[in-house]
Amino acid sequence: QVQLQESGPGLVKPSETLSLICTVSGVSISSGSYYWTWIRHHPGKGLEWIGYTHYSGSTNYNPSLKSRVTLSIDMSKNQFSLDLNFVTAADTATYYCARARLQNDFDRWGQGTLVTVSS
Amino acid sequence: DIQMTQSPSSLSASVGDRVTITCRASQNIAFHLNWYQQKPGIPPKLLISAASGLQSGVPSRFSGGGSGTDFTLTISSLQPEDFATFSCQQSHTSPWTFGQGTKVEL
């Protein structure tokens, strides 16, 4: 059974870095059939795709966040991670890690973690 | 970016009703459209991919249609567990974008 689980701080100060880890179980993150993805959900708004990483090292970022985002993958731990720099209150959201199939739909999701940006 | 617009943003319905939600893309996305269901505190669940491909385990009362710019999600007979928010997502062109969601309420 494929499971994804986000972990990381629930509170980040403005201008600092939001860092989250997604631990994957039930499937190897080195499978070439999937992209490992971060998506966020602002209260009252639609879902926003942040970016994805692939075991090959390739990444694809949403241009709206590209200057502040780094995604990386740790195959030894079957984890992938998100770093979002210089956060503001606008980055307060529920962050999901998800598995994207090659057709770019998202078929498995973590439970989500609420991250609040506040001093 | 491709903009995805859903209508309505919310609707009230009763058990047994037939419900249709519309999603419109700002440009032609062929059949690259996916539908998700989300309930409070639970992550989104992929219901339909590639416009009409029902995912394994999803009840057959759910169906998707359309191509190009206009798509629909239909629930043929609404069940109590279907009250949720439904979102569309285009998988044609990066960045992948979602509609704002349609809340189906009792």
* pLDDT-above-70 percentage for chain B: 100
Whether A104 sits inside 8 A of B96 (CB atoms) is: yes
Count the Cβ atoms, other than its own, within 10 Å of residue A11.
12
Dist. CA A114–CA B16, nearest whole Å: 35
Residue B61 has pLDDT above 90, yes or no: yes
In one-letter notation, the amino acid at residue B62 is F
| Mean pLDDT, chain B, integer | 97
Q: Which string of DSSP letters, residue by residue, matches B8-72?
A: -SEEE--TT--EEEEEEESS--TT-EEEEEE-TTS--EEEEETTTEEPTT--TTEEEEEETTEEE
Mean pLDDT, residues B27-40 taken together: 97
Count the Cβ atoms, other than its own, within 10 Å of residue A103.
12
Chain B residues 62-101 within an 8 A CB cutoff of chain A: 87, 89, 91, 94-101
Mean pLDDT, residues B16-43 taken together: 97
Dist. CA B80–CA A81, nearest whole Å: 37
Whether A96 sits inside 8 A of B96 (CB atoms) is: no
Whether B96 sits inside 8 A of A63 (CB atoms) is: no
What's the distance, CA B3 to chain centroid?
A: 15
- Can you give the pLDDT at residue A43? 83
Contacts of B57 (CB under 8 A, 6+ apart): none
Residues of A in contact with B89 (CB under 8 A): 47, 105-106
CA distance A70 to chain B (A): 16
DSSP code for A91 = G
- Can you give the pLDDT at residue B106? 87
Dist. CA B21–CA B48, nearest whole Å: 13
Confidence class for position B95, pLDDT limits 50, 70, 90: very high
The pLDDT profile of chain A, 119 residues, written as one tens digit per residue, is 999 999 999 999 999 999 999 999 999 999 889 999 999 999 889 999 999 999 998 999 999 999 999 999 999 999 999 999 999 999 999 999 999 999 999 999 999 999 999 99
**Is residue A24 exposed (0-12), middle (13-18) or buried (19+ Cβ within 10 Å)?**
buried
